[in-house]
Amino acid sequence: MKIRVVLVGIEGSYNLGVIIRTCKNFGVEEIYLVSPKANLDEANHYVAKASDLLRRVVIVDSLEKALEDVEVSVATSALGFSDTDMVRQAVSIEDFIKMIHGRTRSLAIVFGRESTGLTRNEILKTDYLVTIPANPEYPVLNISQSVAIFLWEIWKIRGAEAPNIPPRIGRDDLELLLSKLREIVELTVGVDYKVERIITALKRVFYRAKPSIYEYRVIKYWVLRTLKKLRETRG
């Protein structure tokens, strides 16, 4: 499994250096920095023997560019749950690892700013939201700690294959299914903010479930039939 670490607006040069070193420890091939505030020259003092990886970081000006060409993306946040916000419905890192074990070819792990984390809109651009359970009285980890824990969990299952698990659909198939579901929701609900909430919920559910090819075909058949009937009814 190919791993890309994405750091959005990283602020501290020390943190950046430690993260680069940690990425080297766990064999990360790609590091993308989205509009970094940290000084890369200063970060070089803290990378130890990972200066070659620091030289290969890719700097981009948007999260969308950092997520190009990856199959699955996951945002990380200490604020993993809100009963009023559909976006903040996180899974634990343990559950996430089980979901992707042997099923994902490339993964982007997105970490937010040290001071404010990721924005709601940034989280929406990813497929999953994951939180690392910690002491509820002080649950916010330092970003370098979060990166180390996440990469260690990935390292334990990385490259593992699961031949006894049915083939899973790819991102393009899932996005196509979601686009058809959006049409159904728009035709039956109509209210813009409710449409977005429903689609966000469906997206989270489908990405957590990661349907097999065979499940996808059955669901797609029903979705297309339903959409056809709705269009005929509307004239």
Write the pLDDT tens digit of every residue in 71-89: 999 999 887 656 666 677 7
* 27 and 75 in a common domain: yes
- pLDDT beyond 70 at 124: yes
- pLDDT beyond 70 at 69: yes
The reported pLDDT for the residue numbered 196 is 92
Q: What is the enclosing helix (H) or strand (E) of 59?
A: strand 58-60
* 148 and 176 in a common domain: no
**For residue 80, which of 124, 130, 123, 114 has the smallest C-alpha distance?**
130
Question: Which of 82-91, 101-110, 158-167, 171-180 is predicted with the least confidence, judged by mean pLDDT?
Answer: 158-167
- pLDDT beyond 60 at 161: no
What is the C-alpha to C-alpha distance for residues 86 and 70, in angstroms, rounded to an integer?
24
* 16 and 116 in a common domain: yes
| Terminal alpha carbon distance of the chain | 47
Q: Which domain holds residue 218?
A: 171-234
- pLDDT beyond 90 at 199: yes
Residue 214 lies in a domain: yes
* 187 and 129 in a common domain: no
Mean pLDDT of 182-205: 91
The model's pLDDT over 223-235, given as tens digits with 9 standing for 90+, comes to 999 999 999 988 6
Residue 147 lies in a domain: yes
Q: What is the enclosing helix (H) or strand (E) of 217?
A: helix 213-234
* 186 and 225 in a common domain: yes
Residue 164 lies in a domain: no
Where among 131, 157, 183 does a domain terminate? 157
Mean pLDDT of 34-43: 97
Where among 103, 124, 157 does a domain terminate? 157
* 230 and 153 in a common domain: no
Mean pLDDT of 6-20: 98
* 137 and 188 in a common domain: no
Exposure class string for 28-52: b at 16+ Cβ within 10 A, else e: bebbbbbebebebeebbebbeebbe
* 142 and 192 in a common domain: no
In the chain, the percentage of residues whose pLDDT exceeds 70 is: 94
Beta strand 2-8 with 58-60 is unpaired
Q: What's the pTM value of the predicted model, to 2 decimals? A: 0.74
Residue written as token pair 């097999």:
212
What is the C-alpha to C-alpha distance for residues 124 and 67, in angstroms, rounded to an integer?
12
- pLDDT beyond 90 at 210: no
What are the tokens at 188?
């039956």
* 146 and 187 in a common domain: no
The reported pLDDT for the residue numbered 19 is 98
Let me know if 99 is exposed, middle or buried by CB neighbors in 10 A (0-12, 13-18, 19+). middle
* 197 and 92 in a common domain: no
Residue 162 lies in a domain: no
Residue 49 lies in a domain: yes
Q: What total of structural domains would you count in the chain?
A: 2
